Amino acid sequence: MAEKKRYAFVIDPARCIDCRACLVACRAEWNTPPGQTRIWVHSDGPRGTFPNLTQTYVPAQCHHCADPWCVEACPTGATFKREEDGLVLIDEEACIGCGLCVNACPYQARFRNVQTGKADKCSACFHRLAAGEQPACVATCIGGARMFGDLNDPESTVSKAIAGRAVYRPITDEVNTQPMTLYLTPPDASAVQVNPTRRDPVPAETFWHTIGLPVVKLAIAATFAGQAAAFIIQLLKGENEYEDA
């Protein structure tokens, strides 16, 4: 049996010039509404003192984490991790746009699409992958800052790009979702928005887990046990066909 794929993005910030062709390509591919985007190019602005100024641009998108909190938060499985390649995808027909996954993602890589009312995010252009093409943002990146491929394939672009290089995974001590985006030339994580931030669950989700589930389980278990006991008593006592009306 063929080994499963392990898709990953490899980003080289040193190659990004903030042309934003990737954002245009993504929007053209997915027709995302104005004001919303599936991918980003973050920047912390110029650093240093004139004339010695530098600026780093850090492309980002959904990291298709190996341990995705968004998938855990989804009550129905409308957002799921595809087994064969690890992509985190959304079944739009099943999604009701509750936004629990949006809140759960520590990278703020998800949003609720204002046109569809569904959760939305980078899907690594899975349809293009199926046709043997690269994701739109990767295919259009003229500087080669965005790369995508199978880490299990030593001949893939991504495997070659990280070979012998120090890579940076955007994780913290508190949040490690095993993101499948690897950054070459680690960015100044304190200044750019690639590091994760844990957010508290929304009140309804907390209520559901802490009160809703236990109360319903207890109520059903109690009534079932009560009626089962009554039925056992009935079996032991038998029926009185003349007494009962």
Partner 1 sequence: MSHEKLTLEEREALRQQTLVKHYTANILTHWFNAFSWLLLLPTGFAILLGKAYPFVPQAWNDLVRNVFGGLAPLIKWHAIWGQIWLFVLVFNVLFGFRKYFIPFAATRMWMDKDDWRWLMIRPLQMFGLMKDKPLPPQDAYNGGQKLYSYLVLIGTFFIGVTGMIMTYSELIPTSLQWLIQWSMPIHFIAVGGVFAGVIIHVYMGAIMPEERQAFFSMFSGKVNGLYAYLHHRKWYERKMAEQAAWEDHYQRQLTAAEAAGGESPAAPEPAPTGGDR
Interface with partner 1 (CB under 8 A): 72-78, 91, 93-94, 96-100, 112, 114, 116-118, 202-205, 207-209, 212-213, 215-217, 219-220, 222-224, 226-227, 229-231, 233-234, 239-240, 244-245
What's the rounded Cα separation, in Å, for the pair 224 and 220?
6
What's the min distance (Å) between Cβ of 165 and partner 1?
36
Kindly state the smallest distance separating residue 244's Cβ from partner 1, in Å: 5
Whether 7 and 65 have beta carbons less than 8 Å apart is answered as: no
Provide CB contacts within 8 A for 245, sequence distance 6+.
none
Nearer to partner 1 by Cβ, of 55 and 76: the residue is 76
CB of 97 to partner 1, least distance (A): 5
Closest CA to 201 of 48, 15, 75: 75
Name the minimum Å distance from CB 31 to partner 1: 16
Evaluate whether 148 touches 134 at the Cβ level (below 8 Å). Answer: yes
List of residues 6+ apart from 239 with CB closer than 8 A: none
Angle, CA 17 vertex, CA 26 and CA 56 arms, to 5°: 110
Give 54 or 240: the residue with its C-beta nearer to partner 1.
Answer: 240
Instruction: Give me the least distance between CB of 213 and partner 1, in Å please.
Output: 6
User: By C-beta, is 20 or 112 nearer to partner 1?
Assistant: 112
Give the SS3 label for residue 53. Answer: strand
Task: Choose between 142 and 229: whose C-beta lies nearer to partner 1.
Answer: 229
Q: Nearer to partner 1 by C-beta: 85 or 91?
A: 91
